[in-house]
Amino acid sequence: MIFASFEFVFLFLPVYFTLYFLTPAKWRNWPVLILSWLFYAWWRVDFLALLVGVTVFTFAVARLMDASGVESRRGKHLFLLGILGNLSVLGYFKYANFGVATLNDLMAGLGFRPMGWNEILLPIGLSFYVLQSVSYLIDLRRGVVPVSRSFVQYATYKAIFSQLIAGPIVRYAEIAPDLQERKHSLALFGAGARRFMIGFAMKTILADTLSPMVDAIFALPAPTLVESWTGAIAYTLQLFFDFAGYSAMAIGLALMCGFHFPQNFNHPYLSGNIQDFWNRWHMTLGRFLRDYLYISMGGNRRGPIRTYFNLFMTMVIGGLWHGANWTFILWGVWHGGMLALHRYWKNLGFRPIPYIIANPILMLCIVLGWVTFRAPTIHSTFGMYAGMLGLNGTGFTDAIAWQITPDQLWTMAIAAVLVYWPVLTARTPLARPPEENGWALRAAWTVAPMLGFVLGLILLYSRAAVPFLYFQF
């Protein structure tokens, strides 16, 4: 079940909100927990046991750490047990297939028979809820949060359905007060509903319309100049509106129930440099990589060379977190290299490049990076790059021309305008808060998300639901 589906909008949500608001306030974590587990079990009942097992294991380790003293020798051993236990689960389900395939390729190259192996299915959302466990244990070790003494509260934090599958990566400290007591109001519910409808429209109207074109172009063995650039730009827009749309829906659904999730996107394609981009794109992952990897490796405290290395390795690990494939490692190398180069540029004392030049340069680098993020193999990645250089011809070929429709091209144009909307409207009343404008703009601020939601439902009725791109991570 995904948010952009009829069974979610017209079946799960009505049941969820009915049971939630009929439950007395002090017991409302129970329906959130139970219905979130049922939401997860809709996909695979057996993997619900893994989610519950990780939750129980981490909760128990944290309680034992607290009882022993986090600074004691036993507390440190328990901390390592908790971290290694969670990472072992992630490593087995996410990277075992990749490891065996790489080993078999090496053995075949040396003339040995490959080992037999049954492919392991990756549980949906595993990467996200394991990162939550890791952040909770590290924050407990650092004294940032007190240990949770209520299993229901901790399990609810892990299971809240709106962030369970693809984030945002919420830290326990950020919603611990909401887990104990939440405030509800029509205004809060309305703000959450508006956020959900905007995300729904981003996903169904923009991202899903571009999906068939992106899939068709990235499946070509030798895309031409026009095809490869069209596919790369379309994917750049699709990925943003798909994932930012999911995050908006997740944050909105949480707000409707009184949970305050952190922001996950802040107009990342308007950035003027790669550091600013990572302060705006998938912000909760960026914070995780910074606070738990980069700083733990020494950050910028051990001289410039070590700083460049730490930046580079943080992004390589971040790329590997996204998926067990050499394409994601290459994407991490690309972004790590850009971050290190940006820091080197700053250390040389050069003035920042003017925004009107810096943003197009950055976006070119981002688009090139998204190619390897989307391509299924390294070979197809460089096939796309060859096409972008014009080595496979120029115009649309017959194999792809019939698959690209005018509505997809119009959607690309509209999506690009919406990306740069804050810049285009910076000096107009559209940039002001709604309460500072007249009644017409205030009405549009309220009605537009509803119209987008209705149009999204109409489009959803006319085609199959498209899974969120980040479900695969």
For the segment 269-305, what is each residue's pLDDT rounded down to a tens digit?
Answer: 999 999 999 999 999 999 999 999 999 898 888 888 9
Better-predicted residue by pLDDT, 407 or 435: 407
- Rounded to 5°, the CA angle 263-411-454 comes to 70
Give the pLDDT score at 115: 79
Give the pLDDT score at 430: 67
Contact 211, 203 (CB under 8 A): no
Amino acid at 111: G
Judged by DSSP in three states, 407 sits in: helix
10 Å CB burial of residue 90 (0-12, 13-18, 19+) is buried
Report the alpha-carbon distance of residue 164 to residue 86 in Å, rounded. 16
* Residues contacting residue 308 through CB under 8 Å, at least 6 positions apart: 340, 343, 344
- Rounded to 5°, the CA angle 278-409-422 comes to 40
10 Å CB burial of residue 387 (0-12, 13-18, 19+) is buried
Give the pLDDT score at 300: 83
Contact 257, 20 (CB under 8 A): yes
Report the alpha-carbon distance of residue 30 to residue 155 in Å, rounded. 10
Helices (H), 143-224: 151-159, 161-164, 172-180, 186-201, 208-218
Residue 54 has pLDDT above 80, yes or no: yes
322 included as an active-site residue: yes
Give the pLDDT score at 106: 82
DSSP 438: -
What are the sequence ranges of the domains in the chain? Answer: 6-183, 188-472
Angle between helices 225-256 and 186-201 (to 10 degrees): 160
Contact 270, 31 (CB under 8 A): no
The predicted model scores a pTM of 0.92
Confidence of residue 352 (pLDDT cuts 50, 70, 90): confident
Model pLDDT for residues 176-192, shown as the tens digit of each residue: 999 998 989 999 999 99
Please pick, among 77, 184, 260, 322, the residue that the annotation labels catalytic. Answer: 322
Give the pLDDT score at 194: 94
DSSP 393: B
How large is the average pLDDT for residues 23-46? 92
How large is the average pLDDT for residues 104-132? 83
Structure tokens of 348? Answer: 């040389």
Give the pLDDT score at 43: 81
Report the alpha-carbon distance of residue 3 to residue 165 in Å, rounded. 11
Average pLDDT taken over every residue of the chain: 90
How large is the average pLDDT for residues 6-31? 93
Confidence of residue 431 (pLDDT cuts 50, 70, 90): low
Q: Where are the beta strands (DSSP E) in 207-341?
A: none
% of the chain surpassing 90 pLDDT: 68
Give the pLDDT score at 473: 66
Model pLDDT for residues 321-350, shown as the tens digit of each residue: 988 889 999 999 999 999 999 999 988 888
